[in-house]
Amino acid sequence: MNRIKSVILLTLLSIVLMAVGGTVGGRQGAFMMLIFSFAMNFYTYWNCDKMALRAYNARELSENEVPELFELVRELTDRAHMPMPKLYVLPTDVPNAFATGRNENHAAVAVTEGILSMLDRDELAGVISHELSHIRHRDTLIMTLAASIATAISYIANIAQWAAIFGGGRDENGNSSNPIALLVTVFVSPIAATLIQLALSRSREFMADASGAAISGKPLALASALMKLDAYSRHRVMANAKPATSGLFIINPLTGAGGMANLFSTHPSTEERVEKLREIAAEMHSY
């Protein structure tokens, strides 16, 4: 069911992209955006790990640098019957983490310098298990695809905005497009793309919490980690965090920005997540 829902929502994102292209360039523009969407999805499928890691200046870690982290991840992947992912570090003291890659055999887990110094071993195990769950369910690929399409929609909408200001776009016959329709597209399409991203991301965070708790066996440790990360994120925004890729992280890195960043958050509230983890702990008799 989740896989079907994801396909439907990604298709909707592609339709929004085509609609923006159609408004700017008529049927030819819509067709060009359809081709562009296929090409982008193909490229993202093969390069989603590199794209996400490059965006945050991640550096691959060696086992000699952090043997304790490698030992922990190896223990968790053995428990989950998964291959060992590559491990990366993000050069920031803001505590957070994300996973990326198209499948279990081509995956990476990235942690910030801050999270390694803030969390204890059980809490870090909860976070890593959450990210391993994302890898297992291919959430990493799906969310990177969604982020790529949403970014393209915002970019094309920005072009449409300038087209409207300077006389409107052109249809396939060279006639001026309706500037009002153009402006509506400019403002509505990025919001629609964001709402679709939200529908994709929020349910998957709950699922990753539950699955991650099962891998680590310590849901309350994950709950504790989420509370610590959330409290920090409310006072400090990650310097190079981007709205389109914020859904990759275990905690929204833009929480501290307030305003629209929270209104259109890609994550459910930490309070909700912690409550569900406490329910899981009660069921597991893990106190």
Q: What is the pLDDT of residue 235?
A: 87
pLDDT in tens, 43-63: 666 766 788 898 899 999 999
Q: 168-181 burial string, b = 16+ CB within 10 Å, else e?
A: bbbbeeeeebeeee
Residue 18, pLDDT above cutoff 70 = no
**CA pair distance 8, 265, nearest whole angstrom:** 21
CA dihedral 195, 138, 236, 128 (to 10 degrees): 150
**Global pTM?**
0.75
Q: Is the pLDDT of residue 246 over 50?
A: yes
Measured torsion, CA atoms of residues 194, 196, 201, 207, in degrees rounded to the nearest 10 = 160
CA dist 20 to 78, 161, 177, 182, Å? 46, 11, 12, 9
How far is 26 from 47, CA to CA, in rounded Å?
A: 31
Among candidate residues 75, 131, 272, 279, the one labeled active-site is 131
Domain count along the chain: 1
Query: How is residue 285 written in tokens?
Result: 């008799």
User: With 80 as the cut, is the pLDDT of residue 128 above it?
Assistant: yes
Angstrom distances, CA of residue 198 to CA of 55, 88, 208, 249: 21, 26, 15, 13
Q: By percentage, how much of the chain surpasses pLDDT 70?
A: 60
Asked if the model's pLDDT at residue 201 lies above 90, the reply is no
Q: Containing domain of residue 232, as a range?
A: 2-284
| Known catalytic membership, residue 71 | no
Give 86's strand partners: 108
Lowest mean pLDDT among 19-28, 40-49, 54-63, 77-86: 19-28
